[in-house]
Structure 1
Amino acid sequence: MQKLGLNELRERYLKFFEGKGHLRLPSFPLVPQNDPSLLLINSGMAPLKPYFTGKEEPPRRRVATCQKCIRTPDIENVGKTARHGTFFEMLGNFSFGDYFKKEAIPWAWEFITEDLKMPVDKLWVTIYEDDDEAFEIWNKDVGLPPERIVRMGKKDNFWEHGTGPCGPCSEIYYDRGVERGCGKPDCKVGCECDRFIEFWNNVFTQFNKDEEGNYTKLPNPNIDTGMGLERLACISQDVENLFEVDTVRNVLEYVCKTADVKYHESDKTDISIRVITDHIRSTTMMVSDGVIPSNEGRGYVLRRLLRRAARHGKLLGINKPFLYDISMIVINESREAYPELEEKREYIQKVIRIEEEKFDLTIDQGLIILNKYIEETKAKNAETITGTMAYELHSTYGFPIDLTREISEENGLAIDEEGFKAKMLEHRIIGREDYLSKQSSAWSDDIYSSLDKNLKSQFVGYSENVAEAKVLYIIKNDEVVQTAKEGESVTVILDKTPFYAASGGQVGDEGYIEGNDVRIRIEDCKKTDDGKYLHTGVVEKGTLETGADVKASIDIRRRTSIARNHTTTHLLQKALRNVLGTHVHQAGSLVEPDRLRFDFAHFSAMTSEEIAKVESEVNEKILESLIVDVKEMPIDEAKKLGATALFGEKYGNIVRVVKIADYSMEFCGGTHLKSTSQAGFVKILSESGVAAGVRRIEALTGEAALAYLHEREKLINEVSSALKSSPQDSVKRIEAMAIELKSAQKEIEQLRSKLVSGSLDEVFSNAVEVKGVKVVKARFDQLDMEALRNTGDTIRNKMGSGVVVLGSGYEGKVSFVVMATKDVVAKGIHSGNIIKEVAKIAGGGGGGRPDMAQAGGKDLSKIDEAIDYSIKVIEAQIK
């Protein structure tokens, strides 16, 4: 058999199936595209599900891929054994209703025996016990002897998950030799030992299973084959496990070099080496596909992996960020297959390093606390870390629960998982109650449950600003009432409304509900889950009655301002992706009439150049007067068109798509402009961080942006007037004044020095002697700290031998300086210890060296007392 590297095996496989009419597709990102059922792609067929189900048309009926995959259900076992890993590559050839068993089985055999030259006598296959068709193909077409074809039951050789498409499978095994077996007489294919290794699985999706458990044949059966690339490399390179495969081994060896350790010298060390090697492969791939460390979802998976690896680095004696450096080896080993790694090299390194540094700030303190908990638990002869302890580590020190579990187990302790979960739940409930307490009383469960669930509000606000409607409900003081009078605050539910209810970051509309001699000013609008629009406001005139016919009209000017900001957020997101990278995605927004706020996933603060570039691009698109086209369409059609969905958002079968020419296309239920030119222009006010990996931009458009510029212009004119200069010359005038000020300050300092020098004779004449040591103490309120230090140096140099104690109350700030000559330091004088006691009198503190120290204080009235107290302190120090 040929000994081939992992990268060559991947290429051989894909080229082989290209020769069989397959379209080679690049690996899909690890982040599932429009599939909320998955956190991360965990198999070769996962991103192809729409093709198998018929929801989407595949680019070709035959496809071959090498798919990046992440699986983390047994993360705690990674490192403890050489079998477990979180990242792997899955080779796959797929047929979407094209070829079937007659082609799939012989092609698999051809590839492994003719292309890879695997010895036939080492190969075994398994089939489903009732799959005579597969047996015939293996036996008659391929020529495999019956004794090498093993029939197995449903548990091993039938692929199904609940109801839906399913079918038998046929696996190919490689016999690695008796020496790798368990030694039992009945050791055979299917044994748990290391002798027979399954490396290729042909799944024949030919049935549909219904709710009653009946299997019916599919009219167009599919082929879904999978082969672990690392497992194939183990066979080809004749190594024991994935950590010894060439590309993985190169990463492992670099880990050893970084930690200055050797593999296979210590079981404990080997665990840490394997953890780091596996986890850095996973994290590098995840970051390259746009995952950013966070406390939720896939971001939390990434954070867990990075922090677990960082912690094992510390166990190996690495006490500085290092994972970002090892990620470079991962990139070098895989960049040919995954060019995005090379393209994002600097970005990957930066994200990983930032997370390492963040964890480094907390892990040492967290470990101290955890070790304290472990000691306390053992002292009580208990065997379990409490849920409260585990939660405290999680919430305060950023310790993932599995890290606490792992360290506890190393110390022979378990953790109270249920108690931890209860604490987490309690935290969520408190948060939810706090949220609900801030909501309108109309959200009360009692109020909501009393309403007819079949009655809904028809929203017509996308096309109409005014609607004739009927009052369905009036809610006042947490009760459903029949009438509401002038001056009363109410929530009104109508059968039809033009009012947009707050959602998707866009605030609700304001306006009026009017009828016969009645007018209600509406200040906000929200929506219940079952489709009732809640118009909250105050009755300004007359009496409102349930069942009344009314006219609902929105504040059009306000709505237009909101639309300006909402359309601009779409432009902003696209510009950010163009400038910063495609990892940018919306993490939240607030669209109001007078401003917009846009939160987005990004790992570091934007530079002023990046902000200017984004602002310029958005304004360019506004000036181009791009048409904003809004359409409703089936969600599958929208996905085919490439519309961007907000991750985690739930969408129905029909979605609303906002398309801005050929520039931007997003799912969105908000209100928008007809043309980008209606936005006027955008002005970015600020860019800041709001959470780990999340940045925020605040900006203005239209009238608000114009008002902002007018205010700035007014401010510039006022400054110019104060400077007695024109706006265009103001900067030069300020620079000239700064030079004048600096010159004046220098002159003041010189005058101060002369003033101090003139009073030095008096200072020296008031010197006292303490146990043979000369002490000069004085107060100079005209000196700041720097000048006070300089004066102290002057006095110390002139006196030759002794201690200087000075104080100042300059501009409301208390300062102290103590200095001592070398000869008195030898007698026991320590300026740092003297000043600690002196400053304490004035409510301050400080310290320093034996020959010089400085301190601050708070109480100006205590300066003299503090200076005088120095004599007692000095007297106590002299030996």
Structure 2
Amino acid sequence: MRNSLLTSSSVATPRLSLMFRSLPRIFRPSPPFQRATASPHFSHHSRQRMAAPSENVPKWTANSVREEFINYFKDRGHTFVPSSSVVPLSDPTLLFTNAGMNQYKSIFLGVVDPQSDFAQLKRAVNSQKCIRAGGKHNDLDDVGKDNYHHTFFEMLGNWSFGDYFKEEAVGFSWELLTKVFSLDPSRLYVTYFEGDKSGGLEPDLETKELWRKAGVPEDHILPGNMKDNFWEMGDQGPCGPCSEIHFDRIGGRNAAHLVNQDDPNVIEVWNNVFIQYNREADRSLRSLPNKHVDTGMGFERLVSVLQAKSSNYDTDVFTPLFKKIQDITGAREYQGRFGAEDTDGIDTAYRVVADHVRTLTFAISDGAYPNNEGRGYVIRRVLRRGARYARKYFNVEIGNFFSKIVPTLVDQMGDMFPEIRKKQDEVMENLDEEELSFSKTLDRGEKQFEAYAQQARSKGLDKLHGADVWRLYDTFGFPVDLTQIMAEERGLRIDNSEFEEAKLKAKEASKGKKQAAEDTVKLDVHDIGKLEKMNDVPKTDDSAKFDSSNISSVVKAIYHGKTFVRTTSDLPQGDQIGIILDKTNFYAEQGGQENDTGRLIIDGQAEMEVGDVQSYGGYVLHTGFMKYGSFRVGDSITSEYDELRRWPIRNNHTGTHILNFALREVLGDGIDQKGSLVAAEKLRFDFSHKAAIAEKDLDEIEKKSTEYIRQNCTVYSKEVPLPTAREISGVRAVFGETYPDPVRVVSVGVEVEEILKNVKDPKWSQVSIEFCGGTHVTKTGEIRDLVILEESGIAKGIRRIIAVTGEAAHQAQREAADFENRLEKLRTMDRGPAKELELKQVQIELNQLTASAVQKSKFRDLVARINKQVLDDQKAQQKLELKKALDKIKSYFEDAENQDRFTLVTTLPETTNPKVLSEAINFIKSKMTEKTVYLFAPDLGQGKVAHGCHVSKASLIEVGVSASDWARVVSGSVGGKAGGKAPTAIGSGNNVDKVEEAVNLATEYLQKFHL
């Protein structure tokens, strides 16, 4: 399968791999499956003329291919399931729907809602809309360069959920391809799973025999190993052997040796996956109670085979779009040239624009609007990339270009996907708006790019600096991949890491500016210059910040407003001031750790409350307010930081190091720190990771952190020469951070001196070792526990964890335990209003609960189950109460004494649900139309009464009874209002004690009409 674009339910193995890489780890494929993701690259030179698939075969249009596939399976008992949206709103693990099986995941995983339509689904067929753009495996960069990459594609598939299995799947595939589509059987090759002795898996000889019985020659039936022919949903979950069908575009030869060998003319066209096992947590396999079939065939590729084209872009999937582009632009006709042969770039532009308009139309139709975040940013990138190609190679004005192509696409695909026809105007408006916005900066941006490119060439560089790339994005809206295309055109490259570094620096600088604007006391460059000229004001010695005791210091400078003064005695009361000492034990904010607070004291004479501590070029400024007395330059004072505040900060800082270590242990070495905050209340850690962390992994991270803490390891620190420190195996540092030389190394559990004996010893990677200038605990036991409160995404590829340690962690655990007990009591409560009321309160409090994110997730699941139980109980109770109500009504009229009566005014038995009254009225309206009835349903507990009436046609026309007038009489007694469409009226009142009076009034109303 190394050259295949197809795998189970996916046009391309890379596409399905992308889906799984965007899922939590529990769903990720095993390494053997991931290796089977290479795709063929069709060069222009390899585009040989192919023999027709078969003589006397009518030309298959794209629409007829799709229609025939769907109808074939519908005729064989499959339910047509319309394509799900390309925006997977119910699956946050996916940026876009990128495989046919996405919407059936709940069935395969056994978590399908038993009340949903899918729970009864046995056989299904569809053509799924898929988008593959964004992320690590991103086809966007390749679109236009070859003849098969697309950001939008269709996925043909048929499924069996516990119904038919291998025999039928093989038979369907072979019959459809050879009998219906009339492909030459001699050009088809099939594979089967050869088994895996190490995994205890036998060869899938059953499938081999089924292919043989279908008529496939022995030398066209080929074995495949785990990486080629065993499909897994992830590290755990449903899995099974698969069987591929490959097609030889050339024919007239035996191409068995070219199957799965990256030959562009021997391609996979279909894959059948036989899901029959479940991969357990211990990697063992267990047979599933139900066996499933999950297949996938690339629509665009199938069309190219049936139309005898070696390029997807040569088929009528794309040719109508090419024709429209040519009409709009006046460009030459599309000639199918690639690479160096496409000398004017026109053919590449055709492919890019046609592909991109498909993606844009389907994405916007399904609700993915262009913006600066997530999938919206991907869509914006696609549009701007296409717009720039259009202007450069087609020489058209940007502003309403793409929208002119949309109607052609809608004509092509609107019957199959009616949503694009319904949203056509909205799509066109969005495209015009985005294009127009980009056009305003495109000229200026290109000019600035040229200036950056010229600067790079003049310096003999072969790349643009990342800071320049960032400025093109930040100022002119050029996505990085667009700048990369422009750079490649000039023989330049860009450094993505430099770009990310510049981006982060800019954002941090922005934050710093906001913070600085809020500060009333701060030093600027002029102030620092003045200090440097003061011979008696040395740089502050802050080495005592790692100690735990108070120290004696000398006031060296006093800052107020924009001047340095000698004393605070003359300053207005309440003014903020800044103090510089010769030495300090206060921690100035740095490295993500918040500053200390505390006091500067001259016992009995003066005290200053310190609220902020910042370092300016080595001068540590303590800012705050004088509580009493005054300071003078030269005074000897006591520096006293707030130990109660620093304590949790120390816990959280060491906890951050341990969390960083646990993240890499669980998620791998690709985790890089992107930022942090160490505060007294919490710790916040930002890191690089592509997807949300699975609950299982989050639980493991928390457990590993706690295990490390419970070992009560000593925390060591030592200043080490920077070059030596960088060589330490497994040392953690923030990428792009500038570190001093020597740098302080903090090790949790191993003495730094021991590490320095052999810095490259690989065992140090099993220890938390970081460059850090912060404060830490002496032993990890002081931290006690670490609880992860939240895990979320803050930017593309950047995740954030918020956690607490120490007492805050214990408090979170106590709250969780109390809440769990409360949920258990709620679960076992008898059904009724009290349980419903408690459930509502619990749902509110759950959102505000401070507890482990994993526990909260479990609580939400339990609350959801309880809520379902309550709703089921309500439905059952409502059904019972309705039965009692109807029994009372029917028994009254069926009674011998009342057979001639046509009216009834009564109170319903034992109901507190106003819906019962409405249902009873509806029953009378539809089943007892000749009856005139007024019903009351008092709820003593809630202090409300529901009431309603139905007036028969005879009573209305012949007698003149009005439902609205009747209800108005009753409402006058029980309160509230009533209304509705004749001949019924429904109301609700608050005077539940007036029900008997209302019954009498309703009866008296009828008596006026002699009823």
Q: 1:100 to 1:423 in 2, by over 3 A?
A: same
Is the partner of 2:293 in helix, strand or coil?
Answer: strand
Q: 1:284 to 1:531 in 2, by over 3 A?
A: farther
Tell me the amino acid that sits aligned with residue 861 of structure 2. N
Match of 2:648 among 438, 450, 455: 450
1:69 to 2:130 alignment: yes
Distance in 2 between residues matched to 1:349 and 1:113, nearest whole Å: 42
Residue aligning to 1:19: 75
Distance in 2 between residues matched to 1:198 and 1:432, nearest whole Å: 52
Q: 1:392 to 1:532 in 2, by over 3 A?
A: same
Distance in 2 between residues matched to 1:343 and 1:236, nearest whole Å: 31
Is the partner of 1:246 in helix, strand or coil?
Answer: coil
Structure 1 runs, 4 residues or longer, greater than 6 Å off: 432-441, 443-446, 528-534, 627-630, 632-635, 655-659
CA contact (8 A) 2:109 2:237 kept: no
CA contact (8 A) 2:140 2:151 kept: yes
Residue aligning to 2:482: 403
Tell me the amino acid that sits aligned with residue 62 of structure 1. R
Tell me the amino acid that sits aligned with residue 124 of structure 2. V
1:41 to 2:97 alignment: yes
Match of 2:220 among 132, 148, 153: 148
Distance in 1 between residues matched to 2:646 and 2:77, nearest whole Å: 59
Residue aligning to 2:882: none
Distance in 1 between residues matched to 2:64 and 2:841, nearest whole Å: 47
Q: 1:123-160 CA deviation, whole Å, 9 max, x = no partner?
A: 11112222333444434442322111111222222222
Residue aligning to 2:334: 263
Matches within 5 A, 1:758-797: none
Distance in 2 between residues matched to 1:424 and 1:283, nearest whole Å: 27
1:312 to 2:428 alignment: no
Q: 1:335-391 CA deviation, whole Å, 9 max, x = no partner?
A: 000011111111111011111111111111110000110111101111110010000
Distance in 2 between residues matched to 1:116 and 1:417, nearest whole Å: 47
Q: 1:141 to 1:62 in 2, by over 3 A?
A: same
CA contact (8 A) 2:219 2:256 kept: no
Tell me the amino acid that sits aligned with residue 319 of structure 1. E
Residue aligning to 1:348: 427
Q: 1:393 to 1:120 in 2, by over 3 A?
A: same
Residue aligning to 2:161: 96
Distance in 2 between residues matched to 1:449 and 1:654, nearest whole Å: 36
Matches within 5 A, 1:717-736: none
Q: 1:276-314 CA deviation, whole Å, 9 max, x = no partner?
A: 011111111101101110111110111111111100001
Higher share of residues assigned strand: 1
Distance in 2 between residues matched to 1:123 and 1:193, nearest whole Å: 14
Distance in 2 between residues matched to 1:4 and 1:633, nearest whole Å: 60
Residue aligning to 1:56: 112
Q: 1:629 to 1:312 in 2, by over 3 A?
A: farther
Task: Compare 123-132 and 402-411 and name the one that shifted more.
Answer: 123-132
Is the partner of 1:276 in helix, strand or coil?
Answer: helix
Distance in 2 between residues matched to 1:650 and 1:366, nearest whole Å: 50
Superposed CA RMSD in Å reads: 4.1
Distance in 2 between residues matched to 1:238 and 1:631, nearest whole Å: 63
Gaps of 5+ in 2: 1-56, 196-202, 520-588, 597-644, 653-678, 682-788, 793-801, 809-835, 845-856, 872-913, 916-941, 944-1011
CA contact (8 A) 2:320 2:408 kept: yes
Residue aligning to 2:893: none
Q: 1:256 to 1:81 in 2, by over 3 A?
A: same
Distance in 1 between residues matched to 2:472 and 2:316, nearest whole Å: 39
Residue aligning to 1:810: none
Distance in 1 between residues matched to 2:130 and 2:384, nearest whole Å: 20
Q: 1:195-233 CA deviation, whole Å, 9 max, x = no partner?
A: 212111111122222344322322222211001111111
CA contact (8 A) 2:248 2:255 kept: no
Residue aligning to 2:146: 81
Asked which structure has the greater RCO (Cα within 8 Å, sep 6+), the reply is 2
Q: 1:679-737 CA deviation, whole Å, 9 max, x = no partner?
A: xxxxxxxxxxxxxxxxxxxxxxxxxxxxxxxxxxxxxxxxxxxxxxxxxxxxxxxxxxx
Matches within 5 A, 1:514-593: none
Matches within 5 A, 1:479-494: none
1:244 Cα deviation after fit: 1.5
Matches within 5 A, 1:352-501: 352-430=431-509, 447=645, 450=648
CA contact (8 A) 1:106 1:141 kept: no
Residue aligning to 2:191: 126
Match of 1:109 among 174, 184, 206: 174
Residue aligning to 1:167: 240
Q: 1:157-198 CA deviation, whole Å, 9 max, x = no partner?
A: 22223232222211111221159x9xx998522232332121
1:425 Cα deviation after fit: 2.5
Tell me the amino acid that sits aligned with residue 363 of structure 1. L
Match of 1:226 among 296, 302, 305: 296
Is the partner of 1:450 in helix, strand or coil?
Answer: helix
1:208 to 2:278 alignment: yes
Distance in 1 between residues matched to 2:334 and 2:509, nearest whole Å: 49
Distance in 2 between residues matched to 1:146 and 1:231, nearest whole Å: 26
1:430 Cα deviation after fit: 4.8
Number of matched pairs: 489
Q: 1:467-522 CA deviation, whole Å, 9 max, x = no partner?
A: xxxxxxxxxxx989xxxxxxxxxxxxxxxxxxxx9xx9xxxxxxxxxxxxxxxxxx
Tell me the amino acid that sits aligned with residue 100 of structure 2. G
Distance in 2 between residues matched to 1:139 and 1:313, nearest whole Å: 49
Distance in 1 between residues matched to 2:838 and 2:355, nearest whole Å: 47
Distance in 2 between residues matched to 1:237 and 1:633, nearest whole Å: 61
Residue aligning to 2:358: 281
Is the partner of 1:224 in helix, strand or coil?
Answer: strand
1:255 Cα deviation after fit: 1.4
Distance in 2 between residues matched to 1:68 and 1:383, nearest whole Å: 40
Q: 1:21 to 1:415 in 2, by over 3 A?
A: same
Distance in 2 between residues matched to 1:337 and 1:633, nearest whole Å: 46
Distance in 1 between residues matched to 2:511 and 2:210, nearest whole Å: 60
Is the partner of 2:76 in helix, strand or coil?
Answer: coil
* TM-score normalised by L of structure 1: 0.51
CA contact (8 A) 2:189 2:256 kept: no
Q: 1:206 to 1:345 in 2, by over 3 A?
A: same
Q: 1:74-103 CA deviation, whole Å, 9 max, x = no partner?
A: 311110111211110001111222222122
Q: 1:426 to 1:211 in 2, by over 3 A?
A: farther
Distance in 1 between residues matched to 2:858 and 2:381, nearest whole Å: 26
Distance in 1 between residues matched to 2:225 and 2:647, nearest whole Å: 52
Distance in 2 between residues matched to 1:11 and 1:346, nearest whole Å: 27
Matches within 5 A, 1:598-613: none
Is the partner of 1:170 in helix, strand or coil?
Answer: strand
Residue aligning to 1:239: 309
Tell me the amino acid that sits aligned with residue 60 of structure 1. L
Q: 1:69 to 1:436 in 2, by over 3 A?
A: farther
Residue aligning to 2:379: 302
Q: 1:177 to 1:425 in 2, by over 3 A?
A: same
1:434 Cα deviation after fit: 7.5
CA contact (8 A) 2:277 2:286 kept: yes
